Amino acid sequence: MSLYFSRSSWSDPNALWIGIKAGYNKVNHGHLDLGNFELDALGVRWARDLGSDDYNLPDYFSGSTQTSQRWKYYRLNSFSHNVPVLGGVNQNVDATSKFTKHGEAVAEPFSIVDFTEVYKQFAGSALRGMKVVGNRKAVVIQDEFALTKSTDIAWGMTTDATIQIINPRQAELSLGGQKMTAKILSPANAAFTVESAQQAAPQKQNLGVSRLMAKVPATTGNVVVLILLAPQWPGGAFDYTGGVTPLANW
């Protein structure tokens, strides 16, 4: 497993902090979550990982194939993580991913993950970029796909926040007395929805946990999914106006 972290301060407990992962899905105790990220700001964790489930669940470690019982458990599969889901199926169990480029000690720190193997059933190329913007006050997540067959895309983020859909392309998250704005910057036909992360026993139930989803209808060819996550700091949230810059030019 490989990890990349960026933060706005080492000493401020309210600082913005984000981490993103690469590596391979078959790592011991691993989940199907390559490209997963977590985000803190204003003393709140906005994007979270649910963690493990009960190791005593039947066939909890039977994860050698795509259809193993292990990947039917919500906390272990792709549907609970902060990753794209293509075609309504889990990430490829055998997939590996890697960081291809970083920007450190710069005004807008970033990292890019090549997770093409994760989605090879649907795409000839798949990249995820994460960039800290607005003087380290906000984050953009940019996913680029070269789709080889028609498929829908479901961008997902797991959160303890209450989510209000302001309009199809903007949502407001509230947690711990703080707020964060989420905006879809690309593509034009994507729309936000909210789903519950709650599961039935004997799995852990994830009470009060929600999923902010940005859904793209089935399409082919080149697709860029660009999401802004902007905590509402004193003085307001940062509003990104940079548009779509190809990851190749980051």
Q: Which two tokens stand for residue 74?
A: 């919500």
Q: What is the CATH number of the domain that holds 108?
A: 2.70.98.70
- Position 86 in a domain: yes
152-175 average pLDDT score:
98
For the segment 93-108, what is each residue's pLDDT rounded down to a tens digit? 999 999 999 998 899 9
Sign of CA dihedral 73, 74, 78, 81: negative
2-56 pLDDT, tens per residue? Answer: 899 999 999 999 999 999 999 999 888 899 999 999 999 999 999 999 999 999 9
Q: Give me the domain span that covers residue 116.
A: 2-238
Please answer whether residues 204 and 108 qualify as being in contact, where contact means their C-beta atoms are separated by less than 8 angstroms: no
Query: pTM surpassing 0.85?
Result: yes
SS3 sequence, 104-154? Answer: CCCCCCEEEEECHHHHCCCEEEEEEEEEEECCCCEEEEEEEEEEEEEEEEE
Looking at the domain assignment, is residue 64 inside a domain? yes
The string of pLDDT tens digits covering residues 204-227 is 999 999 999 999 999 999 999 999
- Using one digit for the tens of pLDDT, what is the confidence trace for 59-112? 999 888 999 999 999 999 999 999 999 999 999 999 999 999 999 889 999 999
Confidence class for position 188, pLDDT limits 50, 70, 90: very high
pLDDT at 64: 84
**140 in Cβ contact with 226 (< 8 Å):** yes
What is the rounded distance in angstroms from the CA atom of residue 115 to the CA atom of residue 243?
Answer: 23
Q: In this model, does residue 1 exceed pLDDT 80?
A: no
- Asked if the structure places residue 82 within a domain, the reply is yes
Per the rule left: phi > 0, alpha: psi between -120 and 50, beta: everything else, 185 is alpha
pLDDT above 90: residue 241: no
Q: Confidence band (pLDDT; 50, 70, 90) for 167?
A: very high
Q: For residues 95 and 86, what is the distance between their CA atoms, to the nearest angstrom?
A: 14
Return d(Cα 216, Cα 197) in angstroms, integer. Answer: 20
In a domain, residue 244? The reply is no
Q: Calculate mean pLDDT across residues 132-142.
A: 97
Q: What is the mean pLDDT of residues 156-168?
A: 98
User: How far apart (Å, rounded) are the C-alpha atoms in residues 239 and 20?
Assistant: 22
How many structural domains comprise the chain?
A: 1
pLDDT at position 28: 81
